[in-house]
């Protein structure tokens, strides 16, 4: 009789332990430094907030995370969830191992509309949505207030149009001998990424959305206007030059387009007073910026693991957690509710005022084409337009050659 009682207790104890055991899942990421420390703190916070799911954050170097994901997909040993740079989402989706989030979103009435819509471009594959944004960055204008003062310009009033970039730059050149605006002429994605902001500001398109991004669209009136403006800054207005990157940081150029992440670095690197603003647009155009960042995605695992991973994603992307995340990391909010959160806005105004224009600019951000061939497209495009920037071919010839090269890659 005693044996039966002990056996019954053991069975009940085992059942209770099994029933209430947390589901263990792995989350691969490449955030290090302050960002990595904050992620670890948030993961611990999530784990302590409930007993159903236990997340283990696993650091994978950014240089190898895509190849490791591809290898794990082939071997069937993927984590439950991971993050990657937005440009790699299409490539990772092609493994066929990502979960379509639409059924989960619908079941929980999850408000996906709170995200800035352009950010969802990267995770949209046909009728499916395979990733959600968790961080963002964008490009804006920085200016040297000391050089503005020296030139007799109002140091608190940056240009808002291309025409004012020229006007202010010419005054600065005349009064100080310094360049007005620094262009990134180093080629590769750096050149393409910055030039796209000028293209979009002129109401242009890089690859055709109507053709599912399989055709070049930059050889257009807007494309010619954008590339001609770069060439004019160098050869017509003589306020920019072809030079290694860094003129602005050394005080040798008064204005530059650079990323929101530089809000952390410029103040410690430069010896002049800084200003930041939403990047100017042509008089006949609109505000625009480019975006960077990471997105989170789930891998096809057991129903239990998928449900557990989704619980973490819902928690991590809720407004209050994202406010905490963005405050700590300096990332730009991916959700409108975060950008409008009174506590977040007050924090930015009081402690990181240079970041405020980048937060405001996120609504103007456009997505680089979400195609696997994008890195090759970007390099090929930059090589051709640099020929016009170096004054070796005309703007029309450069864009025509770039169009041919890009279409050959995509078709």
307 & 227 share domain: no
The answer to whether position 357 is within a domain reads no
261 & 309 share domain: no
268 & 307 share domain: no
Q: Which of 269, 304, 330 is the last residue before a domain boundary?
A: 330
Within 8 A by CB and 6+ apart from 137, the residues are: 259, 260, 261, 291, 292, 293, 331, 332, 358
**179 forms bridges with which residues in the sheet?**
253
CB 358 within 8 A of CB 348: no
Give mean pLDDT in consecutive 10-residue pieces for the chain, a chain of 411 residues.
48 45 96 97 98 98 96 96 97 96 98 97 96 98 98 98 98 98 97 98 97 97 98 98 97 98 96 98 98 97 98 98 97 98 96 97 97 97 98 98 98 91
282 & 405 share domain: yes
Instruction: Report the CATH number that the domain containing residue 206 is assigned in CATH.
Output: 3.40.190.10
User: Within 13 Å and on the Cβ side, how many CA atoms surround 330?
Assistant: 18
287 & 298 share domain: no
The vertex-325 CA angle with 324 and 329, nearest 5°, equals: 120
pLDDT at 153 (0 to 100): 98
CA distance 26 to 309: 9
pLDDT at 20 (0 to 100): 56
Q: Which domain holds residue 389?
A: 138-291+367-410
127 & 180 share domain: no
160 & 86 share domain: no
Burial class (CB in 10 A: 0-12, 13-18, 19+), 19: exposed
Span 266-315, pLDDT tens digits = 999 999 999 999 999 999 999 999 999 999 999 999 999 999 999 999 99
87 & 142 share domain: no
- What's the Cα-to-Cα distance from 259 to each of 161, 179, 313, 386, rounded to whole Å? 19, 20, 27, 22
Report the number of distinct structural domains present in the chain.
2
Burial class (CB in 10 A: 0-12, 13-18, 19+), 142: buried
101 & 153 share domain: no
118 & 265 share domain: no
Token duo for residue 313: 């994603």
The answer to whether position 247 is within a domain reads yes
Span 37-96, pLDDT tens digits = 999 999 999 999 999 999 999 999 999 999 999 999 999 999 999 999 999 999 999 999
Residue whose token pair is 């239990």: 304
169 & 35 share domain: no
pLDDT at 16 (0 to 100): 43
The answer to whether position 347 is within a domain reads no
Q: Which of 311, 330, 349 is the last residue before a domain boundary?
A: 330
């Amino acid at each position: 009789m005693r044996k039966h009682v002990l056996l019954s207790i053991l069975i009940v104890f085992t059942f209770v332990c099994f029933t209430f055991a947390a589901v263990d899942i792995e989350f691969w990421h490449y955030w290090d430094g302050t960002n990595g420390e904050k992620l670890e703190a948030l993961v611990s916070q999530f784990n302590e907030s409930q007993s159903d799911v236990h997340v283990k954050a696993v650091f994978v170097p950014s240089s190898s995370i895509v190849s490791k994901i591809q290898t794990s997909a082939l071997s069937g040993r993927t984590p439950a969830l991971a993050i990657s740079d937005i440009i790699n989402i299409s490539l990772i989706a092609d493994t066929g191992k990502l979960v379509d989030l639409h059924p989960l979103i619908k079941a929980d009435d999850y408000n996906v509309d709170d995200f800035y819509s352009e950010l969802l471009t990267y995770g949209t594959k046909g009728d499916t949505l395979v990733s959600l944004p968790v961080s963002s960055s964008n490009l804006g204008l920085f200016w040297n207030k000391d050089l503005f003062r020296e030139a007799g310009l109002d140091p608190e009033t940056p240009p808002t149009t291309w025409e004012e970039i020229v006007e202010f730059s010419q005054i600065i050149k005349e009064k100080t001998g310094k360049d007005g605006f620094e262009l990134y002429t180093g080629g590769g994605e750096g050149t393409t990424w910055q030039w796209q902001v000028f293209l979009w500001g002129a109401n242009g398109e890089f690859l055709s959305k109507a053709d599912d991004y399989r055709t070049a669209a930059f050889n257009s009136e807007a494309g010619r206007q954008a590339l001609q403006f770069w060439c004019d800054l160098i050869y017509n207005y003589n306020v920019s030059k072809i030079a290694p990157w860094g003129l602005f940081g050394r005080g040798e150029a008064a204005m530059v387009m650079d990323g929101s992440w530089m809000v952390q670095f410029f103040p410690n690197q430069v010896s002049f007073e800084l200003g930041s603003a939403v990047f100017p647009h042509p008089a006949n155009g609109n505000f625009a910026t480019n975006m960077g960042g990471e997105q989170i995605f789930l891998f096809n695992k057991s129903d239990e693991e998928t449900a557990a991973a989704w619980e973490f994603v819902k928690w991590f992307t809720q407004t209050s957690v994202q406010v905490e995340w963005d405050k700590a990391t300096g990332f730009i909010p991916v959700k409108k509710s975060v950008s409008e959160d009174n506590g977040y806005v007050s924090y930015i105004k009081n402690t990181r005022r240079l970041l405020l224009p980048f937060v405001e600019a996120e609504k103007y951000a456009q997505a680089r084409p979400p195609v696997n061939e994008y890195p090759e497209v970007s390099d090929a495009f930059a090589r051709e337009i640099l020929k016009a920037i170096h004054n070796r071919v005309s703007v029309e010839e450069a864009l025509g050659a770039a169009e041919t090269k890009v279409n050959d890659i995509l078709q």
